[in-house]
Amino acid sequence: MTIKRRSVLKILSGAVAGGVLGRDPARAWAQLPPRGVVEPRLASAPGVTPKDIKIGMSAAFKGPSAGLGTELYRGASAYYAEVNQRGGVHGRTISVAALDDGYEPTPCIKNTITLVEREQVFFLSNYVGTPTLTRALPVIKRYADRQVILVGNFTGAQPQREDPYVEQVFNIRASYRQEMMALVDRFWQAGARKFGVYYQIDAYGRSGTDGVARGLAQRGARIAAEATYVRGAKFEDDMTPAVQALRHAGVDVVLCTGAYQGCGAFVRTARDLGWNAPISNVSFVGSEAMLGLLLKQGKSAGRDYTQALVNSQVVPSYDDLSLPGVVEYRTLMERYKPLVPETLRDAKYPPEQLSFRSLEGFVNAKVIVEGLRRAGPNPTRASFRQALESLRSFDLGIGAPLTFGPERHQGLDSVYFTSVVNGRWVPVTDWTAAMKA
């Protein structure tokens, strides 16, 4: 089926919304052949040939948010490379058709259509960002009859977790609501009462702010003050108006929902103005990229920009060698040193050796590969979906087992907290110390 021109125009305007995908209770499980019987590999679905499986990805690879898509891709690629080196999944190698959307909605919409229609990918994965994904969801909903799904997106926004889209999305990470409510809880326990928010003025920023509001409402409190910035802001931008608005409101702590350049600019400006209130960011920010900017600025300015900086994460520390999944991640990142395709590389962004983002991409890939294994030697989109829903207490080696099900399309709920010690992100063990400037 090809989308007609009129439909495409509707999609690009963001005016399309689909109904809820129905369920067939009689769906049959994909069965492996009897022991000793080798079933021939078939071109069993779009994106599946006898030799490989193609996954589609739209993300920011260039521009101010290049570090987000780049690291997510690299982490997943490290795991796929190892799987392919060992013969693939049921004899098929895994490939990723990746397209750059620059963290902008319209390119993401176009990329989604291209990936499904022209690239004929088996499924979609590792999309980056709320403003992009929320506009692409109505497009993906139009492919419900083809059973196109997304797995493991780098966003904690709510729309993909709710009707009418949750049927086609398998989220692996905790949500922004969970991250922000957890941050509110910890800062509240540490004595903070007046909470300010600084956020990217779009669906992503509003999603994080909603989590703060919900967390405070549980305690009979409200957000004391708000400040915003425009998506695409640079680290060099002056955020004095935003800083002063929150400072004059007398907030005890600032919870940020944004990307590394815009949020880094806020931290830099606040410290340059002598305001040392604790500042926190959710996982999406790109912690290592932001830290790199702050450390570089600190060297030239002779100032420490990393004190009283606390970020939430949805995967454990990549320095926690007690976790076998982390050891595996570090080993494969070193072994394969994955890079994005040359056509997607941003010359201004140097890849990071290790990061929370690439670890998240790595975890996503592990879930995907297990789903493909369970889907059988000739997977269909239906059998792959059923295979994902069969995952119960699946051990990823990160200390938090993943569980999906027909009524549960979010696999993990864990939230971790990190602060900067000696120029590195480390787990928070003492909240009083972490909040001190």
Residue 200 inside a domain? The answer is yes
- Within 10 angstroms of residue 62's Cβ, the number of other Cβ atoms is 20
Token readout for 371 is: 């789903």
CATH at residue 65: 3.40.50.2300
Residue 290 inside a domain? The answer is yes
In this structure, the answer to whether residues 240 and 111 fall within a common structural domain is no
Distance (Å, rounded) from C-alpha 282 to C-alpha 274?
Answer: 23
Q: Which of 91, 26, 90 is nearest to 376 (CA)?
A: 90
Residue 33 inside a domain? The answer is yes
Distance (Å, rounded) from C-alpha 254 to C-alpha 372?
Answer: 42
Per DSSP, the three-state class of 262 is helix
Residue 325 inside a domain? The answer is yes
Q: Which of 257, 251, 307 is nearest to 286 (CA)?
A: 257
DSSP structural state of residue 403: -
In this structure, the answer to whether residues 280 and 333 fall within a common structural domain is no
In this structure, the answer to whether residues 388 and 426 fall within a common structural domain is no
Q: How open is the CA angle 128-129-130, to the nearest 5 degrees?
A: 145
Residue 412 inside a domain? The answer is no
Number of domains present in the structure of the chain? 2
pLDDT score for 39: 61
Strand partners, 100: 59
In this structure, the answer to whether residues 182 and 241 fall within a common structural domain is yes
pLDDT score for 42: 81
In this structure, the answer to whether residues 201 and 91 fall within a common structural domain is no
Concatenated DSSP letters for 265-326?
HHHHHHHHTT----EEE-GGG-HHHHHHHHHHHHHHHT----TTEEEEESS--TT-TTSHHH
In this structure, the answer to whether residues 113 and 156 fall within a common structural domain is yes
In this structure, the answer to whether residues 44 and 114 fall within a common structural domain is yes
Distance (Å, rounded) from C-alpha 167 to C-alpha 144?
Answer: 9
In this structure, the answer to whether residues 38 and 136 fall within a common structural domain is yes
In this structure, the answer to whether residues 354 and 381 fall within a common structural domain is yes
Residue 275 inside a domain? The answer is yes
pLDDT score for 437: 72
pLDDT score for 137: 97
Distance (Å, rounded) from C-alpha 123 to C-alpha 126?
Answer: 11
In this structure, the answer to whether residues 28 and 154 fall within a common structural domain is yes
What lies within 8 Å, CB to CB, of 403 at 6+ separation is: 391, 392, 393, 394, 411
Token readout for 385 is: 């979906």
In this structure, the answer to whether residues 255 and 376 fall within a common structural domain is no
Give, for all 437 residues of the chain, the pLDDT tens digit. 444 434 443 444 343 333 333 333 233 333 344 444 456 678 889 999 999 999 999 999 999 999 999 999 999 999 999 999 999 999 999 999 999 999 999 999 999 999 999 999 999 999 999 999 999 999 999 999 999 999 999 999 999 999 999 999 999 999 999 999 999 999 999 999 999 999 999 999 999 999 999 999 999 999 999 999 999 999 999 999 999 999 999 999 999 999 999 999 999 999 999 999 999 999 999 999 999 999 999 999 999 999 999 999 999 999 999 999 999 999 999 999 999 999 999 999 999 999 999 999 999 999 999 999 999 999 999 999 999 999 999 999 999 999 999 999 999 999 999 999 999 999 999 999 999 87
In this structure, the answer to whether residues 26 and 13 fall within a common structural domain is yes
Residue 396 inside a domain? The answer is yes
Q: Show the domain range for 305.
A: 176-313+417-434
- Run of H or E residues at 229: strand 225-229
Q: Which of 256, 209, 259, 211 is nearest to 232 (CA)?
A: 259
Distance (Å, rounded) from C-alpha 100 to C-alpha 343?
Answer: 9
Tell me the CA distances in angstroms from 240 to 119, 147, 243, one per residue in order: 45, 48, 5
Residue 411 inside a domain? The answer is no
Owner of token pair 């989604």: 112
One-letter identity of residue 266: F
Distance (Å, rounded) from C-alpha 367 to C-alpha 56?
Answer: 16
